[in-house]
Structure 1
Amino acid sequence: MSLIAFLGAVELGFIYGLVALGIFISFRILNFPDLTVDGSFPLGAAVSASLIVAGFNPWVATLIAISAGCLAGFITAILNVKLKILHLLASILTMIALYSINLRIMGRPNVALITEETILTPFADLANTLGIASYMLMPVVFLLLAIIIKLALDWFLNSETGLAMRATGANPKMARANGIYDSRMILLGMAMANGLVALAGAVFAQSQGSADVTMGVGVIVIGLASVIGGEALLNPRSIMRATLACIVGSIVYWLAVSLALNADFIGLEAQDLKLVTAVLVAMALVLPGSRFAKMFRKKAGS
């Protein structure tokens, strides 16, 4: 695997680490199976790309994209909490609706950003000033972004509101008995989760130079593989370790994909990406109970 492929995989690992953190909130904290992320990821990309092309400041466009993702998660939670629609079905309904909404926002299947200024443009200019290739600096930029989001999420989940949200996911009846408005916690948590996913979509579109209406297909699978795989490698005994596991799992996932697709002796090509994804997800599901994972976690804990 070349240096460019390695750094590209690490860059994708940090970007999709934000997706994994969002899925961690919905699946692990709230115990809410959420498929909205397959729609909120391209939603963040569509909103940010369309606004940037329209002349908006890229930072403002990214913030609006995050808000759009929060709204998508909020709607899913409303369907479940207020209209009593099964959580899985509620997220599917939102995801399906977002496909048409994303097309409406962009006005066409894809929007190019190659010639537009994005939030990453200053960092590309900095790389030129330092005399290095931009692909060498971008992983550092996304590393810093992932660290900031992780630390902010750690702080929130250990705050009073965060503890109430964790209690809601662990035992809703007990949470209500202790005066916690569990419906509000679900609304807030789902908004946060999809806001993070939308941020990842916005950053991904600006990094790759385009937004596409189909770019969200399979995001939920990648995110779950990152969360489960990371937990297999790092025993999530605390919130800090659990959020770190999400990011580590995402990096390991994309390094495995890159290695599989760039290993000539295996014979895989770009069209085999979904096959590789399926195999990696199966491994992520089996790995946590394996003897190797238990030995690894035992050594890491000692």
Structure 2
Amino acid sequence: MFTVATVLNALELGFIYALVAMALFLSFRVLNIADMTTDGAFTLGCAVSATAAVAGHPFLGLPLAMLAGAAAGFITAFLQTKLAVPSILAGIITNTGLYTVNLAVMGFSSNVPMLKTKTVFTAAQSVFGESAPYKLIVAALVTVVVCALLIAFLGTRMGLSIRATGDNPDMVRASSINTAFTITVGLCIANAMTALSGAVLAQYQRSADINLGTGMVVIGLASLIIGETLFGRGGMWVKAVAAVAGSVIYRFIIALALRANVPSECLKLISAVIVALAIAAPALKAKADFRRRRANAQKGGARHA
């Protein structure tokens, strides 16, 4: 069904987009905040990484993209915690402003080509050789390192404070913990991971486009929910690994759709349907169980009658 090239491509993109899934895991699941900065932060990471690579600094482009993403997360957190802007609206405001920022980073051009530009992947190619799956190695290495660091961070005192803020902010305030600070740190880290995903993708496909981040929230949520549905909700490390696995599985679903000759223009619709079905799955299962129990009860009553 799948060729070797298709499998490699799905794995590579799955690991790259897994950073977005982990970012949404931190903001959406841990902090319990619907952060809408994701689309703009992803494009910002693409823009910064591409600009740095064109300037001859592909490796420097990755941490710079993370810093830029963290700055975007800080603005969203500032609007939310200091100016009392609702979390969803704060993300939308930041995301809207980032469109102009991203254009400015790319020299007010909607696209930055990098066809002859050295990237982290060309560097890996020179190390591992062209016959090796060097793109997969880079993508997997970045994602595994970030996932391990995220799991370790969530076990620290600050990480536990962030988790407590998402679970019960009133209790955290009563414990003299600054919830504004924990929210800010959490959103900065989440958007830094999102920007890193965009940075790696830009160098992976050797181009950055102003519209690359469109629909990234849906893609990230689809990956996150697929992982949670298949692997359950265990400890933090299980949830983080499930987000990565969900991203890879989502990419295989997209690859399967493309193999079935589904038009590429319909992929966003497929993503939306996947998210809707994954979110509705528990409710649908509960309704099915209820109907089955009711049917069994009616059969039992008929026999006794």
State the TM-score, normalizing by the size of structure 2. 0.90
1:146 equivalent among 139, 143, 165? 143
**CA deviation profile, 1:245-298 (whole Å, cap 9, x unmatched):** 1001101111001101112xxx41222212221222222223345659xxxxxx
Is residue 255 of structure 1 aligned with residue 249 of structure 2?
no
> Bigger radius of gyration, 1 or 2?
2
SS in 2 for 1:19: helix
**CA deviation profile, 1:23-54 (whole Å, cap 9, x unmatched):** 11111111111110100001001011112212
> In 1, Cα distance between the equivalents of 2:251 and 2:158?
33
Shift of the alpha carbon at 1:142?
1.5
**CA deviation profile, 1:114-135 (whole Å, cap 9, x unmatched):** 211112222112343xx515xx
> In 1, Cα distance between the equivalents of 2:218 and 2:226?
12
> In 2, Cα distance between the equivalents of 1:124 and 1:236?
38
Is residue 43 of structure 1 aligned with residue 40 of structure 2?
no
2:156 equivalent among 133, 151, 159? 159
Measured on the aligned residues, the alpha-carbon RMSD in Å equals 1.5
> In 1, Cα distance between the equivalents of 2:171 and 2:177?
9
Which shifted more, 207-216 or 279-288?
279-288
Distance 1:166 1:211, change over 3 A: same
In the TM superposition, what are the counterparts of 1:1-302 in structure 2 within 5 Å? 1-55=2-56, 57-107=57-107, 108-128=109-129, 132=131, 136-263=133-260, 267-288=261-282
Contact 1:113 1:210 in 2 (8 A): yes
Shift of the alpha carbon at 1:175?
0.4
> In 2, Cα distance between the equivalents of 1:257 and 1:118?
26
Q: Name the residue aligned to 2:301.
A: none
**Structure 2: which amino acid aligns with 1:34?**
D
Distance 1:288 1:139, change over 3 A: farther
Contact 1:231 1:288 in 2 (8 A): no
**Structure 2: which amino acid aligns with 1:25?**
L
SS in 2 for 1:274: helix
Contact 2:50 2:114 in 1 (8 A): yes
**Structure 1: which amino acid aligns with 2:170?**
K
State the TM-score, normalizing by the size of structure 1. 0.90
Shift of the alpha carbon at 1:147?
1.3
**Structure 1 stretches of 5 or more lacking a match?**
293-302
**CA deviation profile, 1:118-172 (whole Å, cap 9, x unmatched):** 12222112343xx515xx3322322222111111111100111100110011110
Distance 1:161 1:112, change over 3 A: same
Contact 2:121 2:134 in 1 (8 A): no
> In 2, Cα distance between the equivalents of 1:5 and 1:269?
17
> In 2, Cα distance between the equivalents of 1:288 and 1:249?
17
SS in 1 for 2:176: coil
Contact 2:45 2:198 in 1 (8 A): yes
SS in 1 for 2:46: helix
Q: Name the residue aligned to 1:296.
A: none
Shift of the alpha carbon at 1:88?
0.4
SS in 2 for 1:193: helix
> In 2, Cα distance between the equivalents of 1:235 and 1:268?
30
Which shifted more, 233-242 or 279-288?
279-288
**CA deviation profile, 1:209-250 (whole Å, cap 9, x unmatched):** 000000000000000111111100111210000001100110
Q: Name the residue aligned to 1:298.
A: none
SS in 2 for 1:120: helix
Distance 1:143 1:289, change over 3 A: farther
**Structure 2: which amino acid aligns with 1:276?**
I
Shift of the alpha carbon at 1:85?
0.5
Q: Which runs of 4+ in 1 moved over 3 A?
A: 287-292
**Structure 2 stretches of 5 or more lacking a match?**
287-305
